[in-house]
Amino acid sequence: MSSTIPPSTLKALTRQFNHELFAAQSYLALSVWCEVQNFSGCAAFFTKQAGEEREHADKIIAHLVDRGDAAEIAAMEAPRQKFSSLGDVALHAQALEQANTRGINATLEAALVDKDYPAQVLMHWFVNEQVEEEAWAAKMVALVQRATCAGGLSSFDRHVSDLLGAGD
Ligand SMILES: [Fe+2]
Ligand SMILES: [Fe+2]
């Protein structure tokens, strides 16, 4: 079975699932940094996010395979792993989500131009998902920046999943 996906949409979907895999690796790196710094709550939160990004990649891969495409997995650059503070981590997570949203939008735009209806519907799910993802990231940045009193960051770390709604 050969691919039934128009070339530009296929290129965009392929780039996007690889980007989701990169996001998974990036969240794994954030989780490791947090664990080393004894922010165990944030480490668990980012481990969960890494799993979700992997599921996002799987969703697009399944779509490609169902339509007869081989879903080419690209070589990946190493994620950033050095951070100066939890605030730095939060800003990085937010930048990752913003980049991901740009990728989703570009993929939807390609599917619109190609009149590729299945990919459009698939990307609608991702557009909604990014609203939630950007929401927890913005909240994380705001709450970490606000945690300036003694023990503020530790308190944030203990309650991070409740505070951010875990971004399902
Ligand atoms: Fe994602
Ligand atoms: Fe995400």
63 vs 48: CA distance, rounded Å = 23
Ligand closest to Cα of 137 equals 2
Ligand closest to Cα of 19 equals 1
Is residue 40's pLDDT more than 90? yes
**Amino acid 3: pLDDT:** 87
| DSSP structure class, residue 55 | H
Enclosing H/E stretch for 32: helix 7-36
- Cα-flanking dihedrals φ and ψ of residue 37, to 5°? -85, 10
Distance 6 CA to ligand 1 centre (A): 23
SS3 134: helix
Nearest CA to 50 out of 62, 32, 37, 36 is that of 32
Ligand closest to Cα of 136 equals 2
pLDDT band at 166 (very low <50, low <70, confident <90, very high): low
What pLDDT, in 10s, does the model give residues 50-103? 999 999 999 999 999 999 999 999 999 999 999 999 999 999 999 999 999 999
CA-to-CA dists, residue 73 to 7, 21, 48, 80, angstroms: 16, 9, 22, 20
Distance 85 CA to ligand 1 centre (A): 24
Report the chain's terminal Cα–Cα distance, integer Å: 34
88 vs 37: CA distance, rounded Å = 13
**Amino acid 72: pLDDT:** 96
**Amino acid 149: pLDDT:** 81
Is residue 161's pLDDT more than 90? no
Buried b (16+ CB within 10 A) or exposed e, 78-92: ebeeebeebeebbbb
| One CATH from 3.30.43.10, 1.20.1260.10, 1.10.3720.10, 1.10.10.10 for 7-167 | 1.20.1260.10
Domain spans of the chain, in order of start: 7-167
Distance 91 CA to ligand 2 centre (A): 14
Distance 2 CA to ligand 2 centre (A): 30
134 vs 159: CA distance, rounded Å = 19
Tokens of 42: 């944030």
Distance 23 CA to ligand 2 centre (A): 7
pLDDT band at 32 (very low <50, low <70, confident <90, very high): very high
What pLDDT, in 10s, does the model give residues 118-159? 999 999 999 999 999 999 999 999 999 998 887 889 888 988
- Cα-flanking dihedrals φ and ψ of residue 111, to 5°? -65, -30
Length of the chain: 168
Tokens of 163: 């505070």
